[in-house]
Amino acid sequence: MEIKEIEERDRKINSFIILDREGVLGKGIPNDGKLSKITIAVKSNISVLGMKTTCASKTLENYIAPYDATVVERIKKESGIILGMTNMDEFACGSSGETSFFGPTENPSARGHIPGGSSSGSAAAVAAGFVDAAIGSDTGGSIRNPASHCGIVGFKPTYGLVSRYGLIDLAMSLDQIGPLARDVRTVALLLDVIAGYDARDATSLKMDSNFYNFSKNLNSNLRDVKIGYAEEFDGLVADNGIKKAIHTALDKLNSAGAEIISVNLPNLEIALPTYYLNVYVEFFSATRKYDGRRYGYKIEDVCGEEVLRRILLGSYISQKEYSNRYYRKALQARSIIRNEISNSLRNVDVLLGPTVPKLPHKLDTKIDDPMVIYAYDIFTVLANLAGIPAGVVPAGKVDGIPTGLQVMGRALEDQKVLDVMYGFEQI
Ligand code: GLN
């Protein structure tokens, strides 16, 4: 699609904060790499040299990244054409795409509804056909949630597989960069390029070079794949249509030769508070550098309600006298969840379930209670707390609105997760 047409059509959708109209980013890059001719959008919390990397916040409204994030460097090296910076929830805090300083994004696959978030613009730009693929970040579901609502494929890799160098932190122990696209093959191809060891990220993992051939190794054979389904999922899905779509998906996988095994996650209900307590503390610490002296404005003076809530709660929980009561407990709870997930993955190849418990709400719905937004994240935060790979693939529509099937796997079994997603996509 021509840039002009994207610009025109994006007026309503608002998926881009900046479009590279002059094609500045494409200048001087090779044209024979693995991503040749593939157009890519980048979430506005990932540094692109010379571009405004705003995190969709007034705080960084005028901040121009002085270098490329490692993922961007790799995309350019492999000839990927970066078209611009996408809209998002402010500082990646949100699940709806409505908290951006640059206004909300609309869901191109369910007009009038939110696209999900926080990688709202990345998912919407892909779903609208503006780009072939996009890069997002996922701290508690921000790639998978909008992928589900917009009817596309999204993938959060194993923690450490993709370098976070150049990503503006939300909560660094949970943050992970990953790809979004309309099919599993393109997602895997982009992952081939962005994954890999990076000395500039202390948590980066080093694997053999043949580990990074996800697209070439894709295998759609589902015969004898052991799929776990947690009984607790059903009780937490608020929408019957979503429950039905997921069970239909399970039946299809079963008919294609996979074995469905029931598993238990008895502590599933503590995952959400555990996640948010961890995020508040890490986010509070990450935002201390926005004091108005180094980068733009002092964050507390200009940010939106959700960002401020997190800073205030994070500051409170971080105080010495409260940290035993809250943060230490949150860390303990995190290891309980991590162990529970790894144990459940002992007897199965992947865990499968819904991505979101409810359908995306309509834009302009007035929501005062933050818990209503947090509730979208119940199934996605698990993979971040456990550091494991998780992807989403479309599983049909409910009342005309897409919903995605989530596949989670063991740490470093990203290929297995992609294979199951690919297998499901083919049936
Ligand atoms: N919705 C979650 C939150 O608000 C996840 C955000 C993310 O993954 N960046 O924290």
Spatial contact of 407 and 350, defined as CB atoms under 8 Å apart: yes
Spatial contact of 229 and 263, defined as CB atoms under 8 Å apart: yes
| Domains, the chain, with CATH or none | 3-426 (3.90.1300.10)
Choose which residue among 44, 87, 118 to substitute to test ligand 1 binding: the one with the highest number of ligand atoms within 8 A of its C-beta: 118
* Mean pLDDT, residues 44-68 taken together: 97
Concerning whether 118 is annotated as a catalytic residue, the answer is yes
Q: Are strands 133-138 and 176-181 parallel, antiparallel or unpaired?
A: antiparallel
- 28 alpha carbon to ligand 1 midpoint, in Å? 35
Any residues with CB less than 8 A from the CB of 367 and at least 6 apart, and which? 361, 373
Least confident of 25-29, 330-334, 351-355: 25-29
Give the Cα separation of 268 and 126 in Å (integer). 31
Question: How many CB atoms lie under 10 A from the CB of residue 319?
Answer: 10
Beta bridge partners of 153: 181
Closest ligand 1 atom number to CA of residue 174: 8
Q: Are strands 390-398 and 153-156 parallel, antiparallel or unpaired?
A: antiparallel
* Mean pLDDT, residues 392-420 taken together: 98
Split at pLDDT 50, 70, 90, the class of 22 is: confident
- 142 alpha carbon to ligand 1 midpoint, in Å? 5
Query: How far is residue 101 from each of residues 44, 147, 221, 234, 305, measured CA to CA in Å?
Result: 12, 22, 45, 36, 11
Of all residues in the chain, what percent carry a pLDDT higher than 90?
A: 93
- 125 alpha carbon to ligand 1 midpoint, in Å? 19
pLDDT at 178: 98
Spatial contact of 144 and 99, defined as CB atoms under 8 Å apart: no
Give the Cα separation of 142 and 163 in Å (integer). 17
Helix (H, G, I), strand (E, B) or coil at 33: coil
Return the higher-pLDDT residue of 227 and 238.
227
Split at pLDDT 50, 70, 90, the class of 426 is: very high
Split at pLDDT 50, 70, 90, the class of 11 is: very high
Give the Cα separation of 249 and 226 in Å (integer). 14
Write the residue with the smallest CA distance to atom 4 of ligand 1. Answer: 94
User: Residue 28 above 90 pLDDT?
Assistant: no
Choose which residue among 88, 122, 145 to substitute to test ligand 1 binding: the one with the highest number of ligand atoms within 8 A of its C-beta: 145
pLDDT tens-digit profile of 150-162?
Answer: 999 999 999 999 9
pLDDT at 370: 95
Give me 276's structure tokens.
């948010």
pLDDT at 245: 98
Closest ligand 1 atom number to CA of residue 95: 1
* Mean pLDDT, residues 99-115 taken together: 98
pLDDT tens-digit profile of 362-383?
Answer: 999 999 999 999 999 999 999 9
Query: How far is residue 60 from each of residues 56, 90, 174, 233, 315, measured CA to CA in Å?
Result: 8, 10, 22, 39, 21
Question: How many CB atoms lie under 10 A from the CB of residue 270?
Answer: 16
- 149 alpha carbon to ligand 1 midpoint, in Å? 15
pLDDT tens-digit profile of 256-297?
Answer: 999 999 999 999 999 999 999 999 999 999 999 999 998 789
pLDDT at 140: 98
Give the Cα separation of 111 and 421 in Å (integer). 26
Q: Of the candidates 132, 134, 129, which has an alpha carbon nearest to the alpha carbon of residue 87?
A: 134
pLDDT at 411: 97
Q: Of the candidates 401, 402, 393, 383, which has an alpha carbon nearest to the alpha carbon of residue 424?
A: 393
pTM of the model: 0.97
pLDDT at 326: 87
Could you please report the per-residue DSSP string of 76-138? HHTT-EEEEEE--SGGG--SSS---TT-PPP-TTSTTB---SSSHHHHHHHHTTS-SEEEEEE
Q: Are strands 350-354 and 401-409 parallel, antiparallel or unpaired?
A: antiparallel
- 98 alpha carbon to ligand 1 midpoint, in Å? 13
- Single out the catalytic residue among 43, 58, 76, 156: 43
Closest ligand 1 atom number to CA of residue 141: 8
Give the Cα separation of 162 and 314 in Å (integer). 27
Concerning whether 142 is annotated as a catalytic residue, the answer is yes
Write the residue with the smallest CA distance to atom 5 of ligand 1. Answer: 140
Spatial contact of 130 and 2, defined as CB atoms under 8 Å apart: no
Split at pLDDT 50, 70, 90, the class of 139 is: very high
Choose which residue among 142, 176, 280, 313 to substitute to test ligand 1 binding: the one with the highest number of ligand atoms within 8 A of its C-beta: 142
Q: Of the candidates 165, 164, 155, 145, which has an alpha carbon nearest to the alpha carbon of residue 187?
A: 155
pLDDT tens-digit profile of 311-337?
Answer: 999 999 988 888 788 889 999 999 999
Measured from CB, residues less than 6 Å from any atom of ligand 1 are: 92-95, 118, 137-142, 170, 279, 377
- Single out the catalytic residue among 96, 100, 118, 163: 118
Expressed in angstroms, the distance from the first to the final Cα of the chain is 29
- Single out the catalytic residue among 44, 142, 163, 344: 142
H-run or E-run covering 240: helix 240-255
Give the Cα separation of 152 and 157 in Å (integer). 16
Could you please report the per-residue DSSP string of 328-349? IHHHHHHHHHHHHHHHHTTSSS
Beta bridge partners of 40: 82, 133
- 374 alpha carbon to ligand 1 midpoint, in Å? 8
Concerning whether 315 is annotated as a catalytic residue, the answer is no
- Residue whose tokens read 């979101």: 356
Closest ligand 1 atom number to CA of residue 143: 8
Mean pLDDT of the chain: 96
Angle subtended at Cα 134 by Cα 132 and Cα 139, rounded to the nearest 5 degrees: 155
- 279 alpha carbon to ligand 1 midpoint, in Å? 9
Helix, strand, coil shares of the chain, percent, nearest 5, are 40, 15, 40
